[in-house]
Amino acid sequence: MDTTPARYTAPARWLHALLGLALVGVFAMGLYMTGLPFSPQRLKLYNWHKWAAILVLAFSVLRLVWRLTHRPPELPPAIRHAMPAWQRLAHHGTHLGLYLLFFAVPLLGWAYSSAAGFPVVLFGVLPLPDWVPVSPDLAEALKPLHRLAAYALAALVLLHVGAALKHALIDRDGLLRRMF
C-alpha cells in the first residue's frame, strides 16, 4: 500500500511560507542596508538582519528535520511522465540547492560577523558564540562569499517561484494543490 501523502502536511506548508517570507525580508534588508551610509540606522538594520538570518537558520533546521521525518508527496504520475528529464533534474537540483543555501548563507554571514569582530546578539539580549576567530583577513574572504551565496539563493528562489507559476498559469496541471 502506498503511504505517500497526496499533499504536504500543514507544518511543512507553514514552514515553507515562513521560510519564504523570512528569506525575502532578510534579502531585501541586506540590499537596503548595504547602500546606507554609516549611521545608527545602518547599525540597527545590520543587527535586525543578523536576527532575521538566525531565524532563517532556525526555520531551516526545523524544515529539514520535518522533511527527513515526513515523506513529501510524489509528483503526480501524469506530471512526472509529462516532465522532460531535464526538468525533473532541475526540480531535484533546485530543491537540493535551496536546502544547502538555507544553511550556507546565514552561516557564512555569522562567520563573517564573527571574523570581523561583531558578535551576533540575538534580539539584543542573547549573545551567540563566535564560531570563527576574529581575523580581518578571514572577514574579507568571507564577505564576498556571503554575498555570492545570498544572490545564488535569491536566484534559486526566483527559479522555484517561476517554476511554480509555470505549473499554475501555463501548464495548469494542478501541481500546486499539493502545497495549498
How do residues 49-94 score in pLDDT, each as one tens digit?
Answer: 999 999 999 999 999 999 999 988 888 888 888 889 998 899 999 9
Model confidence band, residue 1 (pLDDT cutoffs 50, 70, 90): very low
2 in any annotated domain: no
1 in any annotated domain: no
The rounded distance, in Å, linking the Cα atoms of 11 and 89 is 26
**Domain range holding 100?**
10-178
What are the grid coordinates assigned to 1, written together? 500500500
- Cα Rg, the chain, nearest whole Å: 19
What are the grid coordinates assigned to 71, written together? 515523506
Task: State pTM to two decimals.
Answer: 0.90
166 in any annotated domain: yes
What are the grid coordinates assigned to 163, written together? 517554476
Residue with cell 534580539: 123
**92: CATH:** 1.20.950.20
82 in any annotated domain: yes
Number of domains in the chain: 1
3 in any annotated domain: no
Strand partners, 122: 126
Residue pair 101/152 in contact by the 8 Å Cβ criterion:
yes
